[in-house]
Chain A
Amino acid sequence: MKRHLGFWLAAGWAAVLVLPWHIGGVWPVFWPGGPQNGPSAGDGMPALIQGLLLGRPWLLASVLPLLAALAGLRATGGAKGGADGRARSAWLTAAGAGGLGWLLVESLAVTQPGLGLGAAAYAVVCLVLGAHGLALRGWCKGDVFIVASIGLVLGSILVFVGFPVVTILLSAVQDNDGRLTVVGLFDKLTDSGIWGLGCVLGTGSTCGVAWNTLALAGVVGVLTTGTGLAFALIAVRTGFRYKAALRLASILPVITPPFVIGLAIILLFGRAGVVTDLLSTLFDIPRSRWIYGMPGVAMAQILAFTPISFLVLVGVLQGVSPTLEEASQTLRATPWITFRTVTLPLIRPGLANAFLISFIESLADFGNPLVLGGNFDVLSTKIFYAVVGAAHDQGRAAVLAIILLSFTLSAFLAQRRWLGRRSYTTVAGKGDAGLPSPLPPGVRIAASAVAALWTGLTVLVYGTILVGGFMKSLGRDNTLTLIHYQTAFGIETGPNGWWFSGSAWDSLFTTLGVSLVAMPLTAALGLLTAYLLVRQSFLGRGAFEFLTMLSFAIPGTVIGVSYILAFNTPPLELTGTGLILIIAFVFRNMPVGIRAGIATLSQIDKSLDEASLTLGARSFTTLRRVILPLLRPAIVTAMVYSFVRAITSVSAVIFLVTAKYNLATAYIVGRAEVGEYGLAIAYSSALIAIMVVALLAIQLLVGERRLGRRTAALPVSTSASKVNA
């Protein structure tokens, strides 16, 4: 304990003595001879130097908490428990609370540049010191790691989710000039454009955008969960031989920029599309525009979100202990009854989570409604155009965002109710548990049919994307060409060696860098949060859980704008840096890690943790050596998802990219906007290829968990032939 404290204390001193307290200037600016020009010359210096030499004496107060902690450490050195322990706890708690409080007041009260690395490190150190103090007092059974984790996760979520969201929601009660208008809020909230029911009542007007959004999300949620379940059943419970291919195919839509699926669907099923052409010449089916509107959007979303629900369900399905199914069979239940009364109820957490994720994804999806929506408006596109459209009405955007949020909240509560307080634990420390029972024939056939349909569509869409990149202008001029790839990824050799002359390289390098940094952070933060939520009980856990879902639920556009509003000015001045992209990705994609972690964790028997704790391991060791290995499917889900989303998301970052840090999707959207579909599709294909490689690498690195289930003796021949047929 003392050694740990010593480390953190040293880190605290480093934060005020060595690290740059504010941003501005280059880091080693405090060395003589560093750049001296510009208004921000001294801002890169450590707090103490700024306090002593640069006329910012209030920064000197930063050492007081550190001195307090030191006093706590020395005064009671070595002793355990008793009065000494209480004294040390008091010192450390005071140090932590004092440091954080001082930082908050100091950064808000004084006009100065944005906080830098030193301040960030200082905040973390104070948090950990305070956690030590609280743990000594007996919080969370005296477990420092748990106290510090809760503090860290909660703090970062408050700063990077709560703060921006509050900032933008405040603008709901402001008019365009920043004056408060509470009266206008009610009118805006009850606008007939949002809640009108004209299409049902037949009053000659269209339906409100809120109903559109709900209907779409409901349909997509149900269908996506069903399709995902079909794939999971095939992958886990049949002897289907090409499971690897299945896995890969089901991943494809996730790794595609959403814009591109919509584009491919238009090129296929639009009025002048390839399939429509065929149908009209062969069967004389008249061309129509059915694709523009709810059918098209739903189709694109089901294609895009099924893999996520598959990933969630496959982990859960693998975790279902065959013992229970064997018991059912022994009691002479038919396969169908076993499936309906044993298997399905056991995967309820998975179903609920899969539905929740796709429901919320659909609520927040932006790219597909943008391309395929036609006259079918949904909240996310409405919000985007309320901000950037000709109306420029940020207040309306905030109102729509509030409505969207309330939907998310409802979905979240409904899911909790449905799951109730039942136990879904099926992974226990009892080793071998028998063989999973085969699927009932009806279910197998249905699952195969669904999967086949979905796979067919996917192949079509990807065929279009792959081929489109090599054609001059797909549908209009089908000459084969490499020109798009040359424009994007040209490499020339000059006098200075290799030169990346293609126009896409800059954005590609930034995208990869940002995604790679964001990936492990997202997974770690997400799984840690899941662990805290499932395994620890603390005050306000429900509210905490909801807070984590917030950033996922709010459409990316709103996140983007709120990040600019919140982080463009000191004390947290992050716009224009690569860091804000990473933060946006981490906190936006973290919820998937959390959901996957919760779904998997709720299956792992707590007795495993307890066994480890009884044997003397601390909670950190338990987490690392017992729980993490069992969480491998969740880790894969979280890493894959965060990496892929960081590469493919559009709306959240469209306001955050800059000349220096441009992202691939922003570039692709720009190209598609001016009708350079060929280049857009070529770049997308390249991204897809990169992500496939990355996914395989992640799978290989993390590996499968071994649950001690037998795998042999499934009726391979029959089921495989049926699936193939």
Chain B
Amino acid sequence: MHCKTRRPATAAGRKRLRSMVLAVTAAAGLAVLAGPSPAAASEVVVYCSVNEDWCREVVTSFERKTGIKALMTRKSAGEVYAQLRAEKSNPKADIWFGGSGDPHLQAAEEGLTEPYKSPELDRLYGWAIRQAEISGYRTVGIYMGALGFGYNKDLLAKRKIAAPACWSDLVKSDFRDEIQIADPNSSGTAYTMLATMVQLMGEDAAFDYLKRLHRNVNQYTKSGAAPAKSAAQGETMLGIAFQHDLLVEAIAGAPVAIVAPCEGTGYEIGSMSLVKGARNPDTAKIFYDWALTPEVQALGAKARNFQIPSNSGAQIPPESPRVDRMKLISYDFARYGSSAERTRLLAKWDHEVKSLSR
């Protein structure tokens, strides 16, 4: 290396000073962003899979009530499940609140969640307790929502089609290219529908039905609630979804009529689980017990989510779809929630139904 001429010392010095200041500022910025949160004694990390409003409502009420800081991340149930799996060796979350029951059962099956019996357990409805029992008390039901479909009243009137009331109406040629449902490979809602059909009709008849339905489906959406939105917007005449998702649209003023199919229908049990190896197991349990109380279960309705709460002491919101007036199948969550059965049904659906041309 040879020596080089330098610029005057003052200019160089100033320049160096400036770059040093810059470097220090950048380093400080990085350090602030990267700094791990000090493990404060009273906090709880919540992965929340119900709607954002509901999550926020629950978390702020919890903080107000207990003084424990609740750090909430909202993600769909499938995303949370994938994340829990990835974080298995070093969990970051303490509790998983809400979301369709199947991923919760799947997580329980893989030992990603922790068994726990809450003192509130006895006050829950039978379906919520059954959810806990089949998972070995690794999860528990916090709400229930029934499957159904909704049609756009304006579009239906324009085409002068009789209002559908049963699953069997959906395969009529009137609805050619007018039905939307999610892809069961991507959406728990649609998987619930697939499993419902199999339980309602028997497997062969169910797949026969789904093949005929396939001719009327204009789009298999990715998200389970999308068909409800499409029906509300008039993008499709009829959407198959959970009734509470359709209800959100109807209450917002969309011309959507909601149908509980006459043959009977399946349902989901929104669940809650404690994460295994959590960093704040104690506060997580406080959150768990608290979330099962009637007052907290009423928060869903406050945020305009009208699922049926699982605590028998909680008031069922008047807007909720009346479960007592619809026919519900006795949904076998143990069987259809297991990963082996689900993988088999999904593969079969993929090969026999989805790949058909219409």
Question: Which residues of A are at the interface with B, using a C-beta cutoff of 8 A?
Answer: 1, 23-27, 35, 37-38, 40, 80, 117, 142, 144, 176, 192-193, 196, 198-199, 204-206, 266, 270-272, 289, 292, 370, 373-375, 381, 385, 387-394, 473, 475-477, 503, 513-514, 517, 561, 564-565, 568-569, 573-579, 582, 616-618, 654-655, 657-662, 670-671, 673-675
10 contacts between A and B (CB under 8 A): A204-B356, A205-B355, A289-B177, A374-B218, A390-B78, A390-B186, A392-B78, A577-B34, A657-B73, A662-B73
B34 with A391: CB separation less than 8 A? no
Compute how far the CA of A674 lies from the CA of B26 in the bound complex, rounded to whole angstroms: 38
A385 with B185: CB separation less than 8 A? yes
The answer to whether the Cβ of B199 comes within 8 Å of any Cβ in the partner chain is: no
B87 with A568: CB separation less than 8 A? yes
B122-130, B246-254, B286-294 - interface stretch: B246-254
Q: Interface centre among A26, A390, A673, by most B CB within 10 Å?
A: A390
Compute how far the CA of A144 lies from the CA of B1 in the bound complex, rounded to whole angstroms: 10
A193 with B82: CB separation less than 8 A? no
Which 10 pairs show the lowest CB-CB distances between chains A and B?
Answer: A578-B33, A659-B71, A272-B234, A579-B34, A385-B186, A388-B78, A389-B186, A564-B86, A205-B355, A390-B191
Compute how far the CA of A393 lies from the CA of B218 in the bound complex, rounded to whole angstroms: 26
Cβ of B354: which chain A residues have Cβ within 8 Å of it? 206
Cβ of B222: which chain A residues have Cβ within 8 Å of it? 370, 373, 381, 385
Cβ of A205: which chain B residues have Cβ within 8 Å of it? 355-357
Residue of A with least CB distance to B190:
A390
The answer to whether the Cβ of B188 comes within 8 Å of any Cβ in the partner chain is: yes
Compute how far the CA of A23 lies from the CA of B90 in the bound complex, rounded to whole angstroms: 15
A670 with B52: CB separation less than 8 A? yes
Compute how far the CA of A576 lies from the CA of B183 in the bound complex, rounded to whole angstroms: 31
Compute how far the CA of A193 lies from the CA of B347 in the bound complex, rounded to whole angstroms: 11
B 156-186 binary contact with A (CB < 8 Å = 1; else 0):
0000000000000000000001000001111
B 190-205 binary contact with A (CB < 8 Å = 1; else 0):
1100000000000000
A387 with B82: CB separation less than 8 A? yes
Q: B42 to nearest A CB, angstroms?
A: 13
Compute how far the CA of A24 lies from the CA of B78 in the bound complex, rounded to whole angstroms: 30
Q: A571 to nearest B CB, angstroms?
A: 12
Residue of A with least CB distance to B154:
A272
B233 with A660: CB separation less than 8 A? no
CB within 8 Å for A517 and B38 given contacts A374-B219, A392-B81: no
Q: Which of B34, B85, B86 contacts A578 (CB 8 A)?
A: B34
Compute how far the CA of A247 lies from the CA of B258 in the bound complex, rounded to whole angstroms: 49
Q: Which of A24, A176, A659 contacts B36 (CB 8 A)?
A: A24
Q: B333 to nearest A CB, angstroms?
A: 14
B4 with A476: CB separation less than 8 A? no
Q: B79 to nearest A CB, angstroms?
A: 5
B1 with A270: CB separation less than 8 A? no
B36 with A23: CB separation less than 8 A? yes
Q: A103 to nearest B CB, angstroms?
A: 19
Q: B314 to nearest A CB, angstroms?
A: 22
Counted as pairs of residues, one from A and one from B, with CB atoms less than 8 Å apart, the total is 190
> Main SS of chain B's interface residues?
mixed
Cβ of A659: which chain B residues have Cβ within 8 Å of it? 45-46, 71-73
B131-139, B259-267, B321-329, B338-346 - interface stretch: B338-346
Cβ of B223: which chain A residues have Cβ within 8 Å of it? 673
Cβ of A176: which chain B residues have Cβ within 8 Å of it? 339
The answer to whether the Cβ of B10 comes within 8 Å of any Cβ in the partner chain is: no
A266 with B87: CB separation less than 8 A? no
Q: Which of A142, A513, A674 contacts B33 (CB 8 A)?
A: A513
A390 with B102: CB separation less than 8 A? yes
Compute how far the CA of A23 lies from the CA of B39 in the bound complex, rounded to whole angstroms: 12
CB within 8 Å for A292 and B186 given contacts A389-B78, A392-B81: no
B86 with A655: CB separation less than 8 A? yes
A577 with B220: CB separation less than 8 A? no
B187 with A674: CB separation less than 8 A? no
Query: Known pairs A289-B177, A390-B78, A675-B249. 10 more at Cβ < 8 A?
Result: A37-B39, A80-B1, A117-B31, A205-B356, A272-B234, A389-B183, A517-B33, A568-B92, A574-B34, A578-B34
CB within 8 Å for A35 and B357 given contacts A271-B234, A289-B218, A655-B86: no
Q: A666 to nearest B CB, angstroms?
A: 8
B45 with A38: CB separation less than 8 A? no
Compute how far the CA of A26 lies from the CA of B31 in the bound complex, rounded to whole angstroms: 11
Compute how far the CA of A80 lies from the CA of B183 in the bound complex, rounded to whole angstroms: 71
Residue of A with least CB distance to B224:
A390
CB within 8 Å for A271 and B90 given contacts A385-B186, A578-B33, A655-B83: no
CB within 8 Å for A1 and B71 given contacts A389-B78, A575-B87, A673-B223: no
CB within 8 Å for A658 and B83 given contacts A392-B106, A475-B233: no
Compute how far the CA of A654 lies from the CA of B79 in the bound complex, rounded to whole angstroms: 9
Residue of B with least CB distance to A177:
B110
Cβ of A388: which chain B residues have Cβ within 8 Å of it? 76, 78-79, 81-82, 186
Q: B53 to nearest A CB, angstroms?
A: 8
Q: B323 to nearest A CB, angstroms?
A: 23
Q: Interface centre among A144, A198, A391, by most B CB within 10 Å?
A: A391
B71 with A658: CB separation less than 8 A? yes
A38 with B39: CB separation less than 8 A? yes
Q: Interface centre among B75, B177, B188, B248, by most A CB within 10 Å?
A: B75
Q: Which of A38, A272, A292, A390 contacts B219 (CB 8 A)?
A: A292
Compute how far the CA of A450 lies from the CA of B38 in the bound complex, rounded to whole angstroms: 56
Cβ of B343: which chain A residues have Cβ within 8 Å of it? 391, 393
Cβ of B31: which chain A residues have Cβ within 8 Å of it? 27, 117
Compute how far the CA of A199 lies from the CA of B358 in the bound complex, rounded to whole angstroms: 11
Residue of A with least CB distance to B221:
A374
CB contacts under 8 Å to A, within B16-52, are 26, 29-31, 33-39, 41, 45-46, 51-52
Compute how far the CA of A391 lies from the CA of B184 in the bound complex, rounded to whole angstroms: 8
Cβ of A27: which chain B residues have Cβ within 8 Å of it? 31, 35
B4 with A618: CB separation less than 8 A? yes
Q: A52 to nearest B CB, angstroms?
A: 24
Cβ of B177: which chain A residues have Cβ within 8 Å of it? 289
Q: A527 to nearest B CB, angstroms?
A: 17
The answer to whether the Cβ of B114 comes within 8 Å of any Cβ in the partner chain is: no
B35 with A577: CB separation less than 8 A? yes
The answer to whether the Cβ of B210 comes within 8 Å of any Cβ in the partner chain is: no
Cβ of B92: which chain A residues have Cβ within 8 Å of it? 568, 575-576, 658
A616 with B89: CB separation less than 8 A? no
Q: Which of B46, B74, B234 contacts A670 (CB 8 A)?
A: B74
The answer to whether the Cβ of B319 comes within 8 Å of any Cβ in the partner chain is: no
Cβ of A206: which chain B residues have Cβ within 8 Å of it? 354-357
CB contacts under 8 Å to A, within B88-139, are 89-90, 92, 102-103, 106
Q: Interface centre among B1, B76, B187, B218, by most A CB within 10 Å?
A: B1
CB within 8 Å for A616 and B2 given contacts A385-B222, A569-B89, A579-B33: yes
Compute how far the CA of A35 lies from the CA of B33 in the bound complex, rounded to whole angstroms: 20
Cβ of B34: which chain A residues have Cβ within 8 Å of it? 23, 117, 574, 577-579
CB within 8 Å for A476 and B73 given contacts A389-B78, A390-B102: no
Compute how far the CA of A657 lies from the CA of B79 in the bound complex, rounded to whole angstroms: 12
Cβ of B86: which chain A residues have Cβ within 8 Å of it? 561, 564-565, 568, 655
The answer to whether the Cβ of B229 comes within 8 Å of any Cβ in the partner chain is: yes
A389 with B235: CB separation less than 8 A? no
